[in-house]
Amino acid sequence: MLGAALVFTASDGTPRNDGFDFFLPTQKLASTVAGYAGAGHVHAPNPFSGSMLANPVPKSPPAVILIPSLDVHRPIEPVGVDRSGHMDLPQNLWNAGWYKGGPVPGAPGDAVIEGHAGYPKAPLLFGKLHLLHPGDKIVVVLADRSRRLFVVDSLTIWAAGTGPPDMGEPYGPARLTLITCTGPFDDHYKTYADRLAVEASYAGLA
């Protein structure tokens, strides 16, 4: 365990000038997690979880994310952190942002990809991410055109200011975490109260 922490700020997943919703120290993205009252945390057996194929470790950055069940097909931009440690925004707010300080999707460890939720009646890229279910497929196309398949394990809702443990770790089985905002929306401050993390296991080449 490295010492740095991931902290979600009180923003909403819609455009802002000073970075995305997540504080991402460059050493690690994991944090101690406070419980979220009333949140649903769904786990289901994943038949693909043991199928780590004997393929070379990918090094090409991710280029496109495909979520067939949500009709998502958008480019991925590499993003870092700003001076305050907040995850930077993609240049195009409809695109996903891959934390380039972490693993490439399909390499050992937890690759982290963000996407804006948008407003309740005007969703952006990840506005329907909460509709995913365990077993749903996510495909990440790398710049070398290889397609990496991930299968959803769980959806977790966290209160703003907390985050999933072990997020972004650069070791362990290859996996993927998608992040966006969710929960009650404060129309005055244009913020969501909670954060959604979709965790998925690597299932080999697509």
Q: What is the pLDDT of residues 131-170, one digit of tens each?
A: 999 999 999 999 999 999 999 999 999 887 777 778 889 9
Among the residues of 73-184, which ranges form H helices?
none
Cβ contact 157:194 at 8 Å: yes
Judged against a pLDDT cut of 90, whether residue 12 lies above it is answered with no
Write the CATH number of the domain with boundaries 7-205.
2.40.260.10
What was the pLDDT predicted at 203?
Answer: 97
Predicted confidence (pLDDT) per residue in 163-182, tens digit: 777 888 999 999 999 999 99
d(CA 181, CA 151): 21
Hey, is 69 helix, strand or coil? helix
Q: In the numeric block, which tokens belong to residue 60? A: 């090409």
Distant-in-sequence, close-in-space partners of 44: CB < 8 Å, separation ≥ 6: 134, 135, 153, 154
Q: What is the pLDDT of residues 91-109, one digit of tens each?
A: 899 999 999 999 999 999 9
Query: Can you give the pLDDT at residue 168?
Result: 87
Domain regions of the chain by residue span = 7-205
**What pLDDT sits at residue 86?**
73
pLDDT of residue 22 exceeding 80: no
**pLDDT tens sequence across 46-61:** 444 444 445 688 999 9
Please report the pLDDT score of residue 55 as a whole number.
64
Q: Please, are residues 21 and 87 in contact by the beta-carbon 8 Å criterion?
A: yes
pTM over 0.85: no
- From the list 3, 196, 206, the residue with the least C-alpha distance to 113 is 196
Q: What pLDDT shows up at residue 162?
A: 72
